[in-house]
């Protein structure tokens, strides 16, 4: 894919009024299930939590699973450092999320839904329950039986991983399961389950409202539609912005930087750091060109200017991972500890600079051997920071 000369395009779909949710719901519930799935698939919507799995496929697989009981779960355990969009969605347009959950339930044949809300957002619980009450009353009115409950998290980052989330909902430690089986076959309580990010659900609402074509026309190849970006760090205008996918980082920095941006962390602590010299060649979307690895986009964009030490940044990330690693698999549990100890040893001079190469190898090992996305992605930020700012790790 060639690098496009693409300007930043702001869009306003997600937070646009939700007053028409009743129409959208009753209108969509009259459509054929296959028809809904097909329009989701043709829209090319991919999961907005970071992993980017095609949403239409997920719904399709769950709808095809042969079980009486199925579940729909809205993943609102937004824990990635630098991400805060889901909170805003649940504050401003909760009915869109609920409508999308109900339509998902209709398509897949589920009758119960859950919103897994992170403990840090407990203040949202009350307004959300009010919205759910109103929503359920309307569902009863039109004769559609669907119940939604809120399940509160308790401050564990790893529970944003879908299988850990379900372990947590089943009353256990939030330790990720082996995959397969995938949640679409065996999820919450062993039943087929759709787990969708809050933002993904709102995008399906957009698709039900305007049709797949309008969504597909936004963005670029492989990365269709819009995305909410949570922008923070060294920027004069931090906040939440809805942008079309596919812009280059240089356009992004032009708009949001403070004129002195030396690097941008794309995708939070588990994402990649992109140094200034690669802004022009880096695209934001599901097919980034960075070192051949696709750029994950949970939406977190953090800008660093030249007053920041990348050692401090990496130290902060590793500190985060070391605490949030669930501890069940050795590569991640020990790996995070050793990476953290290692960079300090190099900084103090207890280890030679070449020791960084050993650490890089360890982080690469973790990518292959860790059980879940957490351990596998520690290497993303570690390698991209150490390789691009090696001198800052040493001196």
Partner 1 sequence: MNSTQTLIKDLARQYGRDRRNLLPIIQGVVEQENYISEFAMIEIAKELNMPASDVFGTASFYSFLEHRKMGFYVIRVCKTIACAMKGTNQIMHAIEDMLKVKIGETTPDGKFTVLQTNCLGWCHKAPAMLINDEVFTDLSPERVREILGEYMRKNR
Q: Which residues bind partner 1 (CB under 8 A)?
A: 78-84, 87, 118-123, 151-157, 168-175, 189, 230-234, 238-240, 269, 300, 302, 308, 312-313, 316-317, 319-320, 323-324, 326
Q: State the nearest-atom distance from the C-beta of 126 to partner 1, in Å.
A: 10
- Residue 81 in tokens: 């450092």
Q: Which is nearer to partner 1, 36 or 97 (CB)?
A: 97
Q: Which is nearer to partner 1, 59 or 304 (CB)?
A: 304
Q: Which is nearer to partner 1, 119 or 211 (CB)?
A: 119
Q: State the nearest-atom distance from the C-beta of 366 to partner 1, in Å.
A: 20
- Residue 76 in tokens: 């609102």
Q: Which is nearer to partner 1, 37 or 73 (CB)?
A: 73
Q: Which is nearer to partner 1, 169 or 249 (CB)?
A: 169
Residue 313 DSSP class = H
Contact at 8 Å (CB) between 197 and 223? Answer: no
Q: Check the CA dihedral 382-383-384-387 and report its sign.
A: positive
Contact at 8 Å (CB) between 303 and 234? Answer: yes
Q: Tally Cβ neighbours within 10 Å of residue 187.
A: 25
Q: State the nearest-atom distance from the C-beta of 78 to partner 1, in Å.
A: 6
Q: Which is nearer to partner 1, 316 or 357 (CB)?
A: 316
Look-up of token digits 């957002």:
121
Tell me the DSSP string of 68-81: S--EEEEEE---ST
Q: State the nearest-atom distance from the C-beta of 150 to partner 1, in Å.
A: 10
Helices 355-369 and 330-348 cross at an angle (nearest 10°) of 160
Q: State the nearest-atom distance from the C-beta of 200 to partner 1, in Å.
A: 18
Contact at 8 Å (CB) between 78 and 84? Answer: yes
Q: State the nearest-atom distance from the C-beta of 239 to partner 1, in Å.
A: 5
Torsions phi, psi of 93, nearest 5? -130, 55
């Amino acid at each position: 894919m060639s690098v496009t000369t693409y300007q930043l395009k702001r869009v306003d779909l997600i937070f646009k009024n939700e007053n028409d949710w009743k129409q959208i719901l009753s209108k969509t519930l009259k459509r054929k299930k296959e028809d809904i799935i097909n329009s989701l698939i043709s829209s090319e919507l991919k999961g907005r939590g970071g992993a980017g799995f095609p949403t239409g496929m997920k719904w399709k697989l769950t709808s095809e699973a042969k079980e009486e009981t199925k579940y729909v779960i809205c993943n609102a355990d937004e824990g990635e450092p630098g991400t805060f969009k889901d909170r805003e969605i649940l504050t401003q347009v909760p009915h869109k999320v609920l409508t999308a959950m109900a339509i998902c339930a209709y398509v897949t044949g589920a009758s119960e839904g859950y919103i897994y809300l992170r403990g840090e957002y407990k203040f949202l619980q009350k307004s959300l329950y009010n919205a759910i009450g109103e929503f359920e009353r309307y569902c009863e009115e039109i004769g559609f039986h669907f119940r939604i409950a809120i399940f509160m998290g308790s401050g564990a980052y790893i529970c944003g991983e879908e299988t850990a989330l379900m372990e947590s909902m089943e009353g256990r430690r939030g330790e990720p399961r082996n995959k397969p089986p995938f949640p679409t076959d065996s999820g919450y309580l062993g039943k087929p389950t759709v787990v969708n990010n809050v933002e993904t659900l709102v995008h399906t609402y957009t698709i039900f409202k305007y049709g797949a074509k309008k969504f597909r026309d936004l963005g670029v190849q492989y990365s269709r539609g819009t995305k909410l970006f949570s922008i923070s760090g060294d920027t004069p205008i931090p906040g939440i912005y809805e942008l079309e996918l596919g812009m280059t980082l240089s356009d992004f920095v032009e708009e949001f930087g403070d004129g002195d941006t030396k690097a941008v962390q794309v995708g939070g602590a588990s994402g990649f750091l992109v140094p200034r010299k690669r802004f022009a060649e880096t695209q934001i979307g599901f097919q980034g060109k960075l070192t051949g690895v696709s750029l994950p986009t949970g939406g977190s964009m953090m800008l660093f200017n030249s007053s920041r030490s990348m050692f401090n940044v990496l130290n902060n990330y590793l500190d985060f991972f070391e605490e949030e690693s669930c501890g069940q698999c050795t590569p991640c549990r020990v790996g995070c500890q050793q990476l953290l100890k290692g960079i300090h040893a190099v900084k103090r001079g207890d280890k030679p600079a070449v020791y960084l190469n050993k650490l890089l190898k360890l982080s690469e090992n973790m990518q292959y051997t860790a059980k879940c996305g957490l351990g596998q992605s520690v290497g993303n930020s570690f390698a991209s920071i150490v390789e691009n700012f090696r001198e800052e790790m040493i001196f």
